[in-house]
Structure 1
Amino acid sequence: MSLLMAFSIVLVVLTIGDIVSTKSKAFIPSVFVSALLFLFGFWTFFPQDIVDLAGFQKPIIYLSMYLLITHMGTMLTIRELASQWKTITVALIGIVGVCALTLTVGKAIFGWETAVIATPPLTGGIVAAIIMSEAAAEIGMDKLAVLAIVTYVMQGFVGYPLTALMLKKEGTRLLNGFRNGELKPTEKAESNEETAPKKKLIPAIPKNYSTTYMILAKLGITAWAAVGFANLIKPAVDISPFVMCLFFGVIAQELGFVEQKPLNLSGSFGFLITGLMAFIFAGLAKATPAMLAQIAVPLGGIIVIGVSGMALLSMLIGKRLGYTKEMSFAIALTALYGFPPNYILTEEASKALTESEEEKKFLMDEMLPKMLVGGFTTVTIVSVIIAGIFTNLL
């Protein structure tokens, strides 16, 4: 398969996902449709490496991740991050709910090893899945090593539609309040419109010199510094370079070195997010029919049990902290997919429900920071910590 043929097929699949999502007003999220199509394709005529053949190989994907996460950091002010302690609490309690039920109910039904190996991938990203897969393989549990990877690959099928439903319900509630005048835009949105722009330590570059190259160079330097700092402090504190990119994006924007939403300003956001989404779906190539048949029952059981525990505890703690049960569950569900689906699902729900840019901005300002912080808390930070702990439980 040629480069352009593979690229075209991958983009057609992603496009069909967008069309179905638009037609259903985000009731059926694009990421869910695309995942189904990729799975069907891998089972029929797609080459297993179609995403690589399309040009979306690991170097460009890792570059995309570093730049996109730093870009997302520029959208969050330090004040916003400090204000998101409730979101972090809800996300963490959601993870506690997953572990509590899988290690009790899951253990009773499927056994200790199955529960221990499947839980960390369910709480987050591919790193946790790889850690548990290798741990299982080292002790001769090859089937459970596969279970760890497939749990990561398949959990999105539960997370995508549930999150879309929760965000649409929460968005409808917020929008009704906004239209009735009961809810107002956040203070950040009001201050940006009503007051002069905040002075930065580093003055803005004149508009004539703020070219695509300049914007991307500053973003790249920021991400480079973030990864270098994460490696520098690693002997003392092991913090993911991706988490550090988020923090450095916040700091660089606060100082004035990087603009807000630099990838949008440079016109690069769409292409980078496309490559990253394609790379995520490439993981479905591992989920063969024979493999899924072997582990279908424990796979489905652990996911249902874990998500049930997540829903129960996140909604309970969210209610105490003043969040609706829909928003609380949506925050916790970010553990099943992380970034960028958490961004895409939020944008789709906001776009489907609103009739103007003002309304869409209101919903994005209300929901997106919570979804981003929830995703980074669970997927990037907590899941790896849990995997490190759980390897010692085998």
Structure 2
Amino acid sequence: MWDISTGFAVIAIIMLVGEIISSKTGGKLPQMFIVATLFLFGYWTFLPKDILTISGLSVVAEICKIFILIHVGSMFNVKSLIKDWRVVVTTLCAIVGILALVLTIGTVIFGKDMAIIAAAPLTGGGMAAMIMNEGAIAIGKSALGVVAFVIFIMQGFVGFPVTAFFLRKEGERLVEEIRNNPNLIKESSTKSEGEQATSKKKIYEYVPTKICTPTYYLTVMGVLGCLGLIIFKLLNGAIDRSIVMIIVGVAASQFGLIPPNPMNKSDSAGILNLALFASFMSGFADTTPASIGQMVIVVFGLLIIATVGILLFSIPVGKKFGYSTWMASAIGLNCFLGFPYNYNLTNEAVDVVAKTEEEKTYLTEQMLPKMIIGSVVAVTLVSCIVAGVLVKML
């Protein structure tokens, strides 16, 4: 019964169901939570344990990991991060808070290995979870690696409601401010956004349009991937492969060799993301209901510790930069969200609080850029680097 087409079709259906339910609930039930639940049910009933190998997606996922890390590096915009350095510092302090508390209190309560495996995904997204999972498998502790994915999947259940609360409070504060001083809206709209920098033409812009096909972008990422692996081998593994790939992506983007988001331009993001997300689920193949039950208790304990760390470290720093307690907290909590969830939650808060179009515009301008930058720093970049460092400590 099980062959490559059946395996692929079943996995694609599971991913689609997760996407639809997540969309219908406005992200309150994250796609990865639905997908993980369906995979767990499947593994415990009818799915073969090696369905990812049968479907051929495990091989695609290997290529995908390299491409996504280069893609992540390409999104690193040095100029915009320098401009929004206060947001960057606040986010980095939130990450320091997570690491400080999880690696101390978490170690005392749950043990050293559990604290280390949890710390990286708590600072950001799925790639950090994948790096830690691979590290755990490499040392024969695959059960520990599953914890990284459970954390990644469960983050939203703490992050969504808590961040929504802080964003709503910040919206209420800003609305009260502009109703007491209507000139703030005028000042904001009069602000000259017209500093359009005449930036030099990038190298990739000289490539003729007819050559810039999906095959071209796949080729460029493939060559950069090879370059990254050569550098990794020359370094004798002194720096984790994921960090090397991100650095290659950052360098290629800064020197103008590739545009931001090259994977999207390759028309392959859909299949590559499907393969990557599905590969997260391989760690669940050997779990039991009892082991998952124990894991969920540990994960919620670690999430609470990490949340306290975020608030303790981001609030005082954010307040020094002139942010309110609410805004500093929301920026720090980007570690549990990332795009597009932070985008949706910010818009939701604005819609609930603002009464006029002018108020909506003002609130969006004040809140949304900070949230997006925070997620770029935490989820997109720093979490992968943290994972690359911590995986060596397992």
Query: How far apart are 1:267 and its partner, in Å?
Result: 1.4
Work out which of the residue numbers 207, 210, 220 in structure 2 matches 1:205: 207
Work out which of the residue numbers 145, 152, 163 in structure 2 matches 1:149: 145
Query: How far apart are 1:121 and its partner, in Å?
Result: 1.0
> Kindly tell me: are residues 72 and 289 of structure 1, through their superposed partners in 2, closer, same or farther at Cα, counting changes over 3 Å?
same
Q: Does 1:116 align with 2:119?
A: no
Query: Which amino acid is 1:152 matched to?
Result: A
Matches of residues 55-74 of structure 1 in structure 2 within 5 Å?
55-57=56-58, 59-74=59-74
Query: Which amino acid is 2:215 matched to?
Result: Y
Please tell me whether the aligned partners of residues 95 and 310 of structure 1 are also in contact (alpha carbons under 8 angstroms).
yes
TM-score where L is the length of structure 1? 0.73
Query: Which amino acid is 2:152 matched to?
Result: G
Work out which of the residue numbers 322, 334, 346 in structure 2 matches 1:331: 334
Work out which of the residue numbers 226, 242, 247 in structure 1 matches 2:228: 226
Matches of residues 112-261 of structure 1 in structure 2 within 5 Å?
114-124=110-120, 125-128=129-132, 148-165=144-161, 194=196, 198-201=200-203, 204-232=206-234, 234-235=235-236, 238-261=238-261
Q: CA-to-partner distance for each residue in 1:91-111, whole Å, 9 max, x for gaps?
A: 554454445545665566x4x
The aligned counterpart of 2:17 is 16
Please tell me whether the aligned partners of residues 153 and 287 of structure 1 are also in contact (alpha carbons under 8 angstroms).
no
Query: Which amino acid is 2:49 matched to?
Result: Q
> Kindly tell me: are residues 105 and 168 of structure 1, through their superposed partners in 2, closer, same or farther at Cα, counting changes over 3 Å?
closer
Query: Which amino acid is 2:210 matched to?
Result: N
Q: Distance in 2 between matches of 1:313 and 1:241?
A: 30
Please tell me whether the aligned partners of residues 70 and 245 of structure 1 are also in contact (alpha carbons under 8 angstroms).
yes
Q: Which moved more, 1:274-283 or 1:300-309?
A: 300-309
Query: How far apart are 1:148 and its partner, in Å?
Result: 2.7
The aligned counterpart of 1:382 is 386
Same amino acid, percent of matched pairs: 21
Q: Distance in 2 between matches of 1:65 and 1:168?
A: 31
Q: Distance in 1 between matches of 2:332 and 2:370?
A: 15
The aligned counterpart of 2:279 is 279
> Kindly tell me: are residues 97 and 370 of structure 1, through their superposed partners in 2, closer, same or farther at Cα, counting changes over 3 Å?
closer
Q: Distance in 2 between matches of 1:255 and 1:383?
A: 26
Query: Which amino acid is 2:44 matched to?
Result: W
Q: Distance in 2 between matches of 1:155 and 1:26?
A: 17
> Kindly tell me: are residues 23 and 53 of structure 1, through their superposed partners in 2, closer, same or farther at Cα, counting changes over 3 Å?
same
Q: Distance in 2 between matches of 1:56 and 1:183?
A: 49
Q: Does 1:288 align with 2:318?
A: no
SS of 2:239's partner is: coil
The aligned counterpart of 2:309 is 309
Q: CA-to-partner distance for each residue in 1:238-265, whole Å, 9 max, x for gaps?
A: 3333223323223323333222322222
The aligned counterpart of 1:142 is none
The aligned counterpart of 2:377 is 373
Q: Distance in 2 between matches of 1:266 and 1:107?
A: 43
TM-score where L is the length of structure 2? 0.73
Query: How far apart are 1:17 and its partner, in Å?
Result: 1.9
Structure 2 spans left out of the alignment, 5+ residues? 121-128, 176-184, 352-360
The aligned counterpart of 1:40 is 41
Query: How far apart are 1:280 and its partner, in Å?
Result: 1.3
CA RMSD for the aligned pairs? 4.1
